[in-house]
């Protein structure tokens, strides 16, 4: 979809693979269980004794045995006598869902939780010179390495196509579905695979000779609307890849805002690391100001070349959204924690957010300096909003931004 300025939306859909089973497995392993239930025929289901147990999630080996989500557990056991059934725990699922959400918040402020195990992300204003496909692969890798489970990521220019793409082959995959790819990748699918198309509608469409999504896309628009009303209009548009819906962000305030970057090579000097830290400070403070929030804590994370993680944080004397203040504090933290290691990743995060700035009392001219810095930040933000994030950058951060962009080309 084209925005008012002619720019196409940049949308990701992140969908957890076998969410309930994966999260149950991780929780069991964390609590001392030696068996990873993802490696055996296993399902998450309801209470069989109450005779309403159905399959909520399944392992890959259970899927290979022909078990499908939603079928009764007694039927699943007939297909696989060695099947093991585990109860659901939505408290655990919410914890892992929140961990995923917090990770995704490092990339954009426009995130819509579509369900407990899937999110839409609008990256249009947050690419910062990077390619959408590279961010998708990075998210998949980070979820796998940092959270312990896997996701599929759909890449497209609207929510519908991103959702359809994430449902392609699984697990742990990234798929694109751009407008020019619709005939090859989507139209060949059975019409029942179209998003929002209910099972009761499929037979009605088949009676009209509509068996694939392509058949529906090429069918007479007026007749489909006459036969199915507003729903017919929607499914015909979906079959043609048309979707103008917005990513609806969470209304709740974020708990923290952060970003990190895997470096193109191992960095071994404070000068290089400080340059990246400045770029991260600009990104994080820009997002703070967009949210009209102020941070009371700054945290710096380092990952060494041998994958050891270190992080230090500092509580501020007053809440701030100033790029300069956040950078100076982060720079001091980095100098304290850095021990000449080879660094492959650096991250910056601000926490304990508030919507009320708490200014530090000073007998000198610090208030004047803060007011000047606030005006500068607002002016820079306005230019970024109008002409793009990279239109205005501090000189010492320009090469870092170019480096981060080259890394993704």
Catalytic site positions = 118
Relative orientation angle of helices 323-337 and 270-290, to the nearest 10 degrees? 140
Q: Give the CA angle between residues 345, 93, 173 to the nearest 5°.
A: 55
Q: How many CA atoms lie within 13 A of 204 on its CB side?
A: 9
Looking at the DSSP bridge assignments, the partners of residue 309 are 303
Q: How many CA atoms lie within 13 A of 290 on its CB side?
A: 19
Q: Which helix (H) or strand (E) holds 322?
A: none
Query: DSSP label at 155?
Result: E
CA 84, 89, 93, 96: dihedral to nearest 10 degrees?
-80
Query: DSSP label at 3?
Result: -
The backbone torsions φ and ψ at residue 143, rounded to the nearest 5 degrees and listed phi first, read -60, -45
DSSP string, 111-151: EEEEETTEEEEE-TTT-TT--HHHHHHHHHHHIIIIISS-E
Whether the Cβ atoms of residue 260 and residue 348 lie closer than 8 Å to each other = yes
């Amino acid at each position: 979809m084209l925005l008012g300025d002619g720019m196409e939306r940049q949308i990701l859909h992140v969908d957890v693979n076998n969410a309930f089973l994966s999260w149950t497995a991780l929780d069991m392993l964390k609590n001392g269980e030696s068996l990873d239930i993802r490696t055996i025929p296993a399902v998450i289901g309801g209470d069989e004794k109450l005779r309403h147990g159905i399959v909520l999630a399944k392992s890959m080996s259970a899927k290979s045995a022909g078990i499908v989500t939603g079928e009764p557990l007694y039927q699943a056991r007939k297909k696989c006598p060695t099947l093991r059934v585990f109860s659901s725990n939505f408290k655990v699922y919410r914890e892992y869902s929140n961990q995923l959400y917090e990770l995704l918040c490092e990339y954009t402020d426009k995130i819509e939780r579509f369900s407990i195990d899937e999110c839409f992300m609008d990256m249009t204003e947050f690419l910062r010179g990077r390619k959408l496909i590279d961010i998708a692969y990075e998210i998949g890798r980070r979820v796998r390495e940092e959270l312990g489970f896997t996701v599929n990521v759909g890449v497209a220019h609207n929510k519908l196509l991103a959702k359809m793409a994430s449902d392609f082959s699984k697990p742990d995959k990234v798929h694109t579905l751009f407008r020019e790819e619709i005939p090859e990748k989507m139209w060949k699918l059975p019409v029942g695979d179209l998003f929002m198309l209910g099972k009761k509608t499929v037979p009605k469409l088949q009676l009209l000779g509509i068996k694939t999504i392509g058949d529906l896309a090429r069918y007479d628009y007026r007749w489909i609307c006459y036969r199915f009303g507003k729903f017919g209009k929607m499914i015909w548009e979906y079959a043609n890849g048309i979707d103008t819906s917005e990513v609806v962000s969470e209304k709740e305030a974020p708990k923290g805002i952060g970003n990190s970057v895997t470096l193109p090579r191992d960095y071994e000097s404070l000068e290089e690391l400080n340059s990246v830290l400045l770029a991260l400070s600009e990104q994080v403070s820009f997002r703070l100001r967009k949210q009209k929030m102020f941070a009371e804590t700054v945290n710096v994370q380092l990952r060494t070349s041998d994958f050891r993680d270190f992080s230090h944080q500092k509580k501020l004397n007053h809440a701030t959204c100033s790029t300069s203040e956040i950078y100076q504090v982060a720079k001091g933290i980095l100098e304290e924690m850095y021990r000449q290691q080879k660094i492959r990743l650096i991250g910056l995060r601000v926490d304990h957010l508030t919507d009320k700035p708490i200014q530090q009392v000073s007998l000198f001219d610090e208030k004047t300096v803060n007011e000047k810095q606030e005006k500068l930040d607002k002016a820079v933000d306005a230019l970024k909003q109008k002409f793009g994030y990279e239109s205005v950058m501090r000189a010492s951060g320009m090469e870092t931004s170019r480096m981060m962009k080259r890394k993704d080309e």
